[in-house]
Chain A
Amino acid sequence: GAVVSQHPSRVICKSGTSVKIECRSLDFQATTMFWYRQFPKKSLMLMATSNEGSKATYEQGVEKDKFLINHASLTLSTLTVTSAHPEDSSFYICSATREWGKETQYFGPGTRLLVL
């Protein structure tokens, strides 16, 4: 159990367009979801934490107007990269935790975004 999916797995877009990435918990209800960003050969950097039905909490230095997060249900969170630019190209990973066992995060497979 505890499977998290992401869609799309890979996306290429033109500079200036917006891209939406979906994160779904497939077999459990995720009270909290997290969004990470990973540059090549680098570690994971937490971008934001989102709880269902409330506003996301962004980490310092992450632009909330740039990276819009919506956690509409207990199984779905979306990250929208607005007006994407080449420097937004990265690997975006989501994770989710259950109501019980909050210390363990279950990670999605990641989405590779390339902005041309």
Chain B
Amino acid sequence: AQKVTQAQTEISVVEKEDVTLDCVYETRDTTYYLFWYKQPPSGELVFLIRRNSFDEQNEISGRYSWNFQKSTSSFNFTITASQVVDSAVYFCALSEARSGAGGSYIPTFGRGTSLIVHP
């Protein structure tokens, strides 16, 4: 079973539309971290947000907002008034502590959602 599910493979919107990217995760850990990354065509992963499992506050950063709900194991990402520059693949990731890895948190990435914003 996938630990991180991004059910939307591709979303196509017209500029200025709002769009929500879904992310559902699965873990037995009480301490974990959730991330969203943006990967534009250049390939470089751009960090967007990190949220720990004890902080369920939603966050807004400009046109971006995130809705973390532990009750449904979801960490959805909304872009308001989308722009062409938002076109990219967006990855949701879950980081859990891995035993025997020197305390490392190893992220598991979802399959990504390709967002296409048309002018």
Chain A interface, number of residues (Cβ within 8 angstroms): 24
Mark contacts of B1-42 with chain A using CB atoms, 8 A cut-off: 1 yes-contact digit, 0 otherwise.
Answer: 000000000000000000000000000000001010100001
CB contact between A44 and one of B33, B102, B105, B109 (< 8 Å): that residue: B109
The answer to whether B50 touches A103 (Cβ under 8 A) is: yes
CB contact between B43 and one of A46, A51, A112 (< 8 Å): that residue: A112
The answer to whether B101 touches A43 (Cβ under 8 A) is: no
- Is the CB of B68 closer than 8 A to any CB of chain A? no
Tell me how many residue pairs across A and B have CB atoms closer than 8 Å.
Answer: 56
**A interface secondary structure, majority:** strand
Report A-chain residues with C-beta under 8 Å of the C-beta of B43.
91, 93, 109-110, 112
Report B-chain residues with C-beta under 8 Å of the C-beta of A105.
95, 105, 107
Report A-chain residues with C-beta under 8 Å of the C-beta of B35.
104
CB contact between A49 and one of B50, B95, B106, B112 (< 8 Å): that residue: B106
**In whole Å, how far is B75's beta carbon from the nearest beta carbon of chain A?**
15
**In whole Å, how far is A25's beta carbon from the nearest beta carbon of chain B?**
15
CA A110 to CA B89, docked complex, whole Å: 15
- Is the CB of A57 closer than 8 A to any CB of chain B? yes
**In whole Å, how far is B41's beta carbon from the nearest beta carbon of chain A?**
12
**B interface secondary structure, majority:** strand
Chain B interface, number of residues (Cβ within 8 angstroms): 24
The answer to whether A57 touches B33 (Cβ under 8 A) is: no
- Is the CB of B104 closer than 8 A to any CB of chain A? yes
CA A110 to CA B46, docked complex, whole Å: 12
CA A9 to CA B102, docked complex, whole Å: 29
The answer to whether A107 touches B45 (Cβ under 8 A) is: yes
Q: Provide 16 A-B residue pairs closer than 8 Å at the C-beta atoms, listed in order of the A residue.
A: A31-B102, A32-B102, A41-B114, A46-B106, A49-B106, A57-B101, A93-B45, A97-B104, A102-B105, A103-B95, A103-B105, A104-B35, A104-B47, A107-B47, A109-B43, A109-B44
Going nearest first, the 4 A-B pairs with the smallest beta carbon separation are A103-B105, A107-B45, A109-B44, A110-B43
